[in-house]
Structure 1
Amino acid sequence: MGSNSEYCYSGGADACIHSWKIPDLSMDPYDGYDPSVLSHVLEGHGDAVWGLAFSPASQRLASCSADGTWGPQHLTLDSLLFPVPSEHGVPTSVAFTSTEPAHIVASFRSGDTVLYDLEAGGALLTLESRGSSGPTQINQVVSHPNQPLTITAHDDRGIRFLDNRTGKLVHSMVAHLDAVTCLAVDPNGAFLMSGSHDCSLRLWSLDNKTCVQEITAHRKKHEEAIHAVACHPSKALIASAGADALAKVFV
């Protein structure tokens, strides 16, 4: 979502990013399609777009792609691509850091997580996200809303917490019975929500890293379950989307 919830952005297998204008909620849902809903199309990648992140502070949209590149794009349609060194592999997710608006973290299939400086145009630090068990694919990376902390979701069922200042691993835990696919931190920074192919959503206290609630939210389909989770910016609501073709909202 963009600032003020006026626009939303989607990336697809066509290598394009589409900007959509949110229609008026008072409109008749049975009205004909309005072509102006599609605001503009951002091009620049050569393969499927895996992840998007928006920064209200800098009015930038960041994307990562299966073509091995990621880049932040000003919404004036200026773009900048960062080719990824081959040792990192294909990027899987990107997130702007909350404490440093000019910094962004990108995660990779290789298990690496790299902190970049957008103003300097290069990598600052490789975070210790591989852990002692070796490399494992990272499915999503998120940033804590008020601490210099990066959190990663891994294929090996783990969640890792990384210090953006030192790059060190702060905490690691086995969080689910199957691959951890998605993460979301509540706006106050007190709780972490995780989703997994084990069909469960788990709510974690970030104070002591313990699970305080578990919800069996979706059914498996083709060995996959939960694909995305999100927290409402101002209300006590969470939402999830799964391979069972359902989107659910929880109070």
Structure 2
Amino acid sequence: MMKKAAVFYHVWAPENSVSWCLLIDEQIKNLIQAGLRHNARIFCCINSKQGEVIRQYISQYNFIEIIEISEDESQYEAFTLKHLFDFCNKNKEYEYVMYFHTKGIRHFSQTRDLSVIKNVNSWRRFLEYGTITKWRDCVTMLQSHDVAGINFHMHPREHFQGNFWWATSKYVRSLEHPLSKSFADESFCHPEQINRVSCEMWIGSGKPNWFSIYNYPFGIGNGSDNFDLYGNDIFPYFLHNSF
């Protein structure tokens, strides 16, 4: 029997857009298709000015537990990470947790550059493959690792680039609260991005024993390791790699 697992889904969507419903519906259907609906508790936090209508939409899937809705977007993804952290500390019978979010929704809703939309969607599918589709592999690797997922990077600090991952609850309990301090600084990101990037750096802040199914092919583009990698469409690499 599989040990207990929980999934935390961070939902953000910009104001005055309805494109979010397509992305959210696809991500939820991915959870169902992968079998996570019946193998984990699924929690959702909605952090958006459109919170109420998003709640109505997600509530059509009655297996998803919505635990907080807020229009205050100042905490970025830590809005959901704080619930994941608290859950691990209060429910020690749960061995594993997964985190993912509405990756790329800002681009889909606001960007006019069609190549960016195409490229970002490839990255989202790449991240979902490594955590949702391959969740059983991640859980297996958590028998001997603290964290597991896809696209792990050592620089500028240890993190899963894109911020989709699995972790043991024990490891999460060893971390500082995600809102206790900033886990990013101006040495590697713009001051206006620190709070957002901090959320991505949090999971690696405890120097975990990590496992990554696959990292993006450094041969494409200029091989830079920054936070806006989406100038390239990785789908051909993703599609033809056996993982």
What's the TM-score once normalised by structure 2's chain length? 0.31
Greater strand content: 1
What's the TM-score once normalised by structure 1's chain length? 0.31
Which is greater in Rg?
1
Q: Which has the higher contact order (CA 8 A, sep 6+)?
A: 2
